[in-house]
Structure 1
Amino acid sequence: MQIEERPLSPVLKSELDAHLRDGLRTLGCQSLANEPDQLADRLTEFLVEFEKARSQFKENQIQLLLVQLGAVLAHLFVVKYGWAWTCAKDENEHDFYFIVSRDKKLMLQPWTFLQDCIQQPDCFELVKNIIALPELASQSDEVKNSDLLYQDIGMAFMAMGSLISLSQGVGTVVEDGQYSD
């Protein structure tokens, strides 16, 4: 897959803004004025409730909801960490949009990550932890010393296996706001 950085087209920007507005409305937020930490809390609270009521949703409703919540998750990364949208084009010329860190070492495709999350028990813990992860990952020697670009933290996070035990450790970071060795 070749990474091609380019600004969002006005049409795509408008679509993402609409999904973000819908996602904020779904979360009960009135505007973008909410602080990132408040938005993160609201997103995880919503996912707790969604997990309880998921069986009442049709698959197309879930997919639409994931797009809206993915736009909110992406917005959190943009505001909280200074990430930006970028595009990857595959060998068939299909575009894939994702958010990428300032140094281009980390990336996340929010909708794909959320789709993977809802397949897991306690998906709200995974989302809470991924919001804290960019800060932790960017401080790790593995990322600092790597020449690789665009490491997908969502895929890495989901591949770690023992997600519930990980949620205990990163949950502490989220609550304290500090990284502890």
Structure 2
Amino acid sequence: MFAFMESIEKPLLGDRKSYMPITVAKLIDEVESYIAKPEFFSDVQVALKLQRIYYLQYNELAAKLESDLAMVLSRLEAAKNNLELVKKFIANPDEEHQTLMQIAQGIFRWVTVQPVKKVTLQVGTVLQMEFELQEAEEYIKKDITSLVQQRLQHEHDIDYLQDQVNTIEMNLAVLYKHGVEKQKRALEGGLAGLSPRP
């Protein structure tokens, strides 16, 4: 019933690396030349602060993507259940159906559904439309296709974002290590300038 989902591919990215506007994190390979940029004033702490800002932004974006993905997965499951139900109605057009209906939060009741010729589907946040069963099946399949594409996009962006976070974590480690070594050299240089008392 859901075999068509296997052939759904994520939309093309073109020349982008992600579907959302995610800033590309560049790995710092030469620390001295990196912190020598005018915006850092040759101060490791300023460069560290910028990397921490990127890190926080990436984490906020990751939380949003995870939340959006959970919503898409929930809608996808509901659409799959709707498709199963519509197919059941199509397969047995003159038959009554037994189903569980939620009558209150966490409370369900078995109900008998009379033969169904039309169904009402939610097609927007507040919009519902009535469909013939065949039309409903087609609409739900299109909705499932769209939701699967959204899922693939979110999964791609989450993976890409994880790569960016890993890059920032490496940058933070390199900058921190450089700052510690610079401090150590400064201390050693200061101690070497002191002459021992006779």
Q: What TM-score results when the alignment is normalised by the length of structure 1?
A: 0.27
Please say which structure displays the higher CA radius of gyration. 2
TM-score normalised by structure 2 residue count = 0.25
Per chain length, whose mean CA-contact separation is higher, i.e. which structure has more relative contact order (CA < 8 Å, sep 6+)?
2
